A and B are shown apart, each in its own frame.
Chain A
Amino acid sequence: MADPGTVMLAIDTSTDTSSIALYSASHLSELSWHAGRNQTQTLLVQIEHLLTLNRLTLEHIGAVAVTVGPGMFNGLRVGLSTAKGLGFGRSVPVYGIDTLDVTAYPHRTSAESIRAFVPAGRGRVVSGDYRKRSGRWTRSGDPQNRDFSEIAAGAGANTVIIGEIPSAVDPDLLENGSELLPLLSLRARRPGNLAELGWRRWKAGEPDESATIEPLYVHGTRRAT
């Protein structure tokens, strides 16, 4: 499939659904599974599995892309620690990519505005609004920690609302506005998109971040006690 050092490994453990991808100039191979709290137990086993399936070894990996959040704090730490260990161990660069960017990425050709969201636990989500301004996609403002029932609030018509729905809530909550709602199967984040975003930065020659990247921690508002 590829020459040594030419494949990007992508790791996304932002939420209960873990996913990984191997991405090169000519191939994409993806794997996702419900890891829940078992990310530490399953992640490296699945990376080894996906390499074997593609008849690749660690020698083929030339860079690592990893989601930095927003997402579940411990999940993000599992992905980042693994990516950093592999990057440092193999002396290959690591790139941290925003989980909301990964979520919004595949819809940028079909929408005018996008609200991407990531489950943050206890029925809450962190969202980010993207808009196309003079041909370029930009995110407006900081990510918002909000209740899932308010996911469409202020989003406006013709906004694609996209993200993994928290397992604890009713997906029908989304079906009440004039927003554009992609199919359920299209709402999930795909590791191939993460790999592609990481690939661009790798090919642009951006410097390795393995020593410095950290998760993006988005808190809800804490009530005063």
Chain B
Amino acid sequence: MLILGIETSCDETSAAVVSDGQVILSNVIRSQEDLHERYGGVVPELASRRHVTAIIPVIDLALRDAGVSKDEIDAIAVTEGPGLAGSLLVGMNTAKALSMAWGVPLIPVNHLEGHIYSNWLTEDQSDSTFQPPRFPCVCLIVSGGHTELVLIRDHGHFEVLGRTIDDAAGEAFDKGARILRLGFPGGPAIQRASAEGKMGRHTFPRAWLGDSYDFSFSGLKTALLREVEKYKREPTRAKKVVSTEPFPVHEPPEYSPNMPASDIAADFQDAIVDVLVKKTERAAQEHRASMVVLAGGVAANSLLRKRLENALSVPLRSPSLRLCTDNGAMIAGAGYYLYQRGIMATFDLDISPQLPLVSDTALEPS
């Protein structure tokens, strides 16, 4: 079964063709990083605009890369939410129109469920040794928009053990990188700087929140702001009074050249990773998980992967770097398992920017 997956929930326009929820035939990802860099974060209105012009060329390329024609597609899977409204609706309305145009089912996919299923995908069609993850497993979803610890008992049986109560882990990286003037996106920027820095010279708080599996990263940002305060300098350039820009451009703070930005970044990263690792390890133990799977943009962080591997007594599985970012293949992958359980949408399907991750058993009447 060939599913076309469409994903536009944030700042990547992506479309992919996946066979039977496992083999990726194509996965086109058009990133917008260049567009948002000068704003120091994703500007929702600009993201939505880029999706409108990128969506058809991206879908067209996904079909051509896969070597399949329009009439070979059996179903269309699309991100329903959570995400940015203006961005989600571009993918959603395109997907609905294609579903009508081709007379194929439309499968609504939760973006977080998509991230989870990036671990069920392989890019290598000839890999006969590929094994999908075993249940029960614990999944840590860490990205710019999300930090969720999920217990997966079976396909469609999710239990959210904990989530962030304020900033997402990726958001903390973005904000940290912005404060330290390290660039955007923040995750890779902080990781790069940390590699050159020395750890242990600065102390950052860890929010353990008692026995809970919830996360909190906003205090970390406050602590970082306090840390860099002593290095701050008056801006040398005069502030522009009138801007013709429709969106406010990020004006980075100015610091004295002897600020040890790399050292600070290393301890800042350590504080985030520390909490993620300890909570994931405890969740895996408590729920007797047979493995732990990672997902989301921050899963690309090498310190996180290394620390988790060392801490866990069960295997760790993480998607390829490409599958960590938002992508259409993970939506097509999750869509396949939803379709197997008969989950399809009608043309009145709407986007759902705040959509939580729930089991489909929770949707059935008891």
Contacts and interface: CB of A to CB of B under 8 A. Distances in A.
Interface of A: 38, 40-45, 47-48, 58, 73-74, 77-78, 80-86, 88-91, 210-212, 214-215, 217, 219, 222, 224-225
Nearest to A79: B93
B31 interface: no
B96 interface: yes
A84 B100 contact: no
Given A74-B85, A85-B95, A48 B90 contact: no
B248 A212 contact: no
A177 B350 CA distance: 44
Given A38-B350, A89-B102, A214-B52, 6 more contacts: A40-B96, A58-B100, A81-B52, A86-B97, A89-B97, A215-B49
B246 interface: yes
B68 interface: no
Given A42-B348, A214-B53, A215-B52, A85 B97 contact: yes
In the complex, the 3 A-B pairs of residues with the closest C-beta atoms, listed nearest first? A85-B97, A89-B101, A81-B93
Interface in B321-366: 347-351
Contact of B350 (A41, A47, A210, A219): A41
B93 A85 contact: yes
B235 to A, nearest CB: 16
B100 A73 contact: no
Interface in B65-89: 70, 85-86, 89
B243 A224 contact: yes
A85 B59 CA distance: 10
Contacts of A78: 89, 93
B243 A85 contact: no
A81 B89 contact: yes
Contact of A217 (B49, B70, B101, B102): B49
A84 B92 contact: no
Nearest to A64: B97
B97 A81 contact: yes
Nearest to B57: A211
A44 B55 CA distance: 18
B347 A89 contact: no
Interface size class of B (residues with CB under 8 A): 35 or more
A84 B55 contact: yes
Given A84-B55, A88-B59, A219-B246, A58 B48 contact: no
Contact of B100 (A44, A77, A83, A91): A44
Nearest to A61: B101
B107 to A, nearest CB: 16
Nearest to B50: A214
Contacts of B348: 41-42, 44-45
B159 interface: no
Interface of B: 45, 48-49, 51-53, 55-57, 59-60, 70, 85-86, 89-98, 100-102, 241-243, 245-246, 248, 347-351
Interface of A is mostly: helix
Nearest to A86: B97
A192 B198 CA distance: 68
Name the residue among A58, A86, A215, A219 with the largest chain B CB count within 10 angstroms: A86
Given A41-B348, A81-B52, A211-B57, A48 B100 contact: yes
Given A41-B349, A81-B94, A89 B70 contact: yes
Contact of B90 (A41, A42, A77, A219): A77
A85 B96 contact: yes
B257 to A, nearest CB: 29
A42 B176 CA distance: 42
Contacts of B85: 74
Given A42-B348, A73-B86, A84 B243 contact: no
A221 to B, nearest CB: 9
B86 A77 contact: yes
A74 B56 contact: no
Contacts of A222: 243, 245-246
Given A40-B351, A41-B349, A84 B56 contact: yes
Contacts of A217: 49
Contact of B101 (A41, A45, A86, A225): A86
A60 B356 CA distance: 40
Which of A74, A81, A210, A212 gathers the greatest number of chain B CB atoms within 10 Å?
A: A81
